[in-house]
Structure 1
Amino acid sequence: MARVWCRGHRGGAEADAGRGGGGHHPRFRSLQTDQVSEKNPGDLVTVADHESEQLLTEALTAAYPDAVVLGEEAHAEDPGLLDRFNTADHGFTVDPVDGTKNFVNGSPDHAVMIGGGAGR
């Protein structure tokens, strides 16, 4: 894909200051033990990852119906998604909580990352 753009947003206090508050996920510092699991040893995933990715995917596909959205959690559940993304004319990659371990531990050092590309 040509024409690639990317925007990251750092979570936590720094993001709140820049946005007037409310810059982080509502589950930040409020996750329950049963809302955190491991995809692989040491590779955490939370309910916040799944919820955020679903919301981002819905928003991106509503705005760009022909685009393929490759989300980190969706890819773990559907390995064929990567092939569809690689052959798409327009696509987005989504990491709903980059730095999940930091998010789980209450550190503001996490981000939502979305990258997009169009054209071949």
Structure 2
Amino acid sequence: MSPDPIRLSALLREVARTEILPRWGRIEADTKGDGSLVTSADLAVQQRLTKALAAAYPDIALLGEEMTEATQQQRLSQSSQGVWVLDPIDGTGNYACGFPGFAISLALVRNGRVELGVVLDPVRDECFCARRGGGATLNARPIAPFTPGQTLGDCIAMVDFKRLPPERIPTLLRPGGFRSQRNLGTVALEWCWLACGRFQLYLHGGQKLWDYAAGWLIAREAGVAAQLYRQGETTPLETIDLGARVALAAADQVLLEHWRTFVELPLSET
């Protein structure tokens, strides 16, 4: 049975209703080895979705953020049959401190390509979906990026300064780069908000597969011009692995060309 975005949306909403929202604002977080946070809600969501997806789609393995790297690599090697890529709570830091910017991100990877993406923002009850070649939707309505003008100064930029080399930050703040700047702290929603026109430029210095897989597909299917790079490189790629990616994107191809020139890749030397 081919995965159905509507069915998946209903599943994510139910899990968010029972596992995420009741704990929001009343939960403690632990620090993982890489410095990121994890909560009991992350673990509960991953456990619930692992069981539910296995029951509905027994031939598709699951790769979750809260797994060991060895297990993640083993699951990814099965992608010819299909593998779910799950971030149970993208934006755990926001979630743990009560900031309303987090999401469940679920993607289906098959044969080294992202085939389907679903991202649920449970606070706003916004569910973004895309299937490769089928466009993108927000709560079942088609979405597209918005371009207020063809110069960078017309645009709002989403820039994650935390994951950029410190020496590069002053150059990004020079005049002419953007009208204003934001940072949500949740990669999946940043891609989705770009897809539906809430800002126009995007730069992130290091996102993992479970961070970007679903949102990246949603943005691309909506019409966003998006590129992913290995850190320290200048050639965009679409290969799927566990390595961190630099994300560069814009509401359309013209803006992306201007933005790429302004940013001046690579962000750092390898």
TM-score for both structures, normalised by structure 1: 0.69
Aligned counterparts of 1:85 and 1:66: Cα–Cα separation in 2? 14
**Distance of aligned partners of 1:42 and 1:92 in 2 relative to their CA distance in 1, 3 Å threshold:** same
Tell me the equivalent position of 2:82: 90
Q: Matched residue of 1:69: which SS? A: strand
Q: Which of 53, 76, 80 is 2:71 aligned to? A: 80
> Is 1:99 the equivalent of 2:95?
no
Q: Which of 50, 53, 65 is 2:43 aligned to? A: 50
Q: Which of 57, 60, 63 is 1:67 aligned to? A: 60
TM-superposed CA distance for 1:96, in Å, is 0.5
**5+ long unaligned stretches in structure 1:** 1-5, 10-21
> Is 1:29 the equivalent of 2:15?
no
**Distance of aligned partners of 1:62 and 1:82 in 2 relative to their CA distance in 1, 3 Å threshold:** same
Aligned counterparts of 1:64 and 1:41: Cα–Cα separation in 2? 32
Max radius of gyration: which structure? 2
Q: Matched residue of 2:23: which SS? A: coil
Residues paired across the two proteins, number? 98
TM-superposed CA distance for 1:47, in Å, is 0.3
Q: Is the 8 A contact 2:75 2:83 kept in 1?
A: no
| Residue-by-residue CA offset, 1:57-78 (whole Å, 9 max, x unaligned) | 11111111011100110x23x6
| Residue-by-residue CA offset, 1:2-40 (whole Å, 9 max, x unaligned) | xxxx9xx9xxxxxxxxxxxx5952211111x4xx21113
TM-superposed CA distance for 1:111, in Å, is 0.5
Aligned counterparts of 1:41 and 1:115: Cα–Cα separation in 2? 23
TM-superposed CA distance for 1:119, in Å, is 4.9
Aligned counterparts of 2:107 and 2:78: Cα–Cα separation in 1? 16
Q: Is the 8 A contact 2:62 2:75 kept in 1?
A: no
CA RMSD in angstroms comes to: 2.7
Tell me the equivalent position of 2:31: 38
| Residue-by-residue CA offset, 1:46-96 (whole Å, 9 max, x unaligned) | 0000001111111111111011100110x23x6233223222311101100
Q: Matched residue of 1:51: which SS? A: helix
Tell me the equivalent position of 2:105: 113
Q: Is the 8 A contact 2:91 2:101 kept in 1?
A: yes
